[in-house]
Structure 1
């Protein structure tokens, strides 16, 4: 049975030159689905023209390419082995949306029949407002046209059955420009599935008293990729502390004990 969950977190949002968008996506910028081999998954984007003028929307399909330590890349020519771009069925069209009009864009994701497929696969539906929403005169020769572009992530978990496989690859104290301490953690996702991971930290003093609890936002970590988290420990005084650090995904917990020496 196919299960669909919508996340409203704007992790795939790309805004070119900060402006107020005339068209907004009402049902989130990351759409996550679960399904099995051979299934059709139905999806939709709900768009709203908030202006008093007709707006032209352009739809394109891209791949999102991730790598540890590098920025994410959107591309219509470069792909990767976990791409679901070829699974997408929808009309990549230009669409005019009238003033104050709501438009529902429907699409399908067709998971291949291959029973051996498992893991998370993804692609990105680009939505560009073709008409510039702002024009700034920079010089007599140059005008800057400001446009809005959204990247809506389409993430599909296929035949999901494996356990969470996360690894803390690096943990160290980091100081900012104000000389405040934070704990920087690099986390690696060793599984085939995208994981929504939240870190939790418990700090104990030399008497065994719990003096600090801290947690991060839940971030998406893609298969084989790593991500950096930062936890605020600026309230800790000089001394040695024992800590329990856990990573939570899909209600599974992976933990480690660490010792902190604050100088």
Structure 2
């Protein structure tokens, strides 16, 4: 099922640990700044690292995710800011020989009038499939799915008139991989894709002394989606603190929240 795609499959792809033998060579996010009526061209590099031939099919879906870890791959037009209708792939099915590389090309045809500034997006699903075999039970062929990859195609229109609007949904301190971790859920309520980093400044409640500043990894955040940002604060001893949490994107837009924070022994 498409919903089983892992959000962090990028790392797996980089080190080619996938048993299926198919890897994406040029990233899982393709971004474009667009203008009305223009055509933009892109490509998806695919390699079969295995020794045997592998068939691969490609198709478009809408895409969203939430801070609770759920990811949704749905039919086009589920997302009101989809650009799936703008994208045309030059093929929907390829077969790669063992160790072979290829490129699948696509065109983005922007409508003559995009009404609302901001980001529009969809994903190209790249799905290795079993060899096409005759069915013993019914006429035709059976295609059995192996694993799928989602390549985001993000198009930004009139970015000077759009902006992210980051909201803090929740702040928790919990053990993660044996370390005390601040888990900060952030939603993008704006209309522009951004890449925020979450940080936390921790202060002694009695003296006001600053004990340290800690930061998360940077992650992309589409409009109307949310993610949980993880910050290792295991160096802070158990106690109650004051803290300022910030989310800062690559354009240095900053959003802040003051909270009481408790680091427990367990």
| TM more than 0.5 | yes
The aligned runs of 1:200-219 (5 Å cut-off) are 200-205=199-204, 206-219=206-219
> Structure 1: any 5+ residue segments left out of the alignment?
1-9, 133-144
CA distance in 2, matches of 1:195, 1:167: 13
How far the C-alpha of 1:26 sits from its partner, in A, is 0.7
* 2:175–2:181 Cα contact (<8 Å) kept: yes
Counterpart position of 1:108: 107
> Structure 2: any 5+ residue segments left out of the alignment?
1-5, 132-143
CA distance in 1, matches of 2:46, 2:108: 19
Per-residue CA distance 1:194-218 (angstroms, 9 max, x = gap)? 2212101122334444322211111
Does the C-alpha gap of structure 1 residues 258 and 75 become closer, same or farther in structure 2, counting only changes over 3 Å?
Answer: closer
* 1:199–1:216 Cα contact (<8 Å) kept: yes
**Structure with the largest fraction of helix:** 2
* 2:28–2:152 Cα contact (<8 Å) kept: yes
CA distance in 1, matches of 2:171, 2:53: 52
**Structure with the largest fraction of strand:** 1
State the Cα RMSD in Å.
2.9
Per-residue CA distance 1:64-96 (angstroms, 9 max, x = gap)? 144564722223366221111100022242212
* 1:201–1:243 Cα contact (<8 Å) kept: yes
How far the C-alpha of 1:128 sits from its partner, in A, is 1.6
1:79 aligns with 2:78: yes
Does the C-alpha gap of structure 1 residues 211 and 23 become closer, same or farther in structure 2, counting only changes over 3 Å?
Answer: same
Q: How many residues align?
A: 239
Secondary structure of 2:112 counterpart:
coil
TM-score computed with the length of structure 1 as normaliser: 0.78
How far the C-alpha of 1:49 sits from its partner, in A, is 1.8
* 2:166–2:255 Cα contact (<8 Å) kept: yes
TM-score computed with the length of structure 2 as normaliser: 0.77
Does the C-alpha gap of structure 1 residues 244 and 126 become closer, same or farther in structure 2, counting only changes over 3 Å?
Answer: same
How far the C-alpha of 1:192 sits from its partner, in A, is 0.7
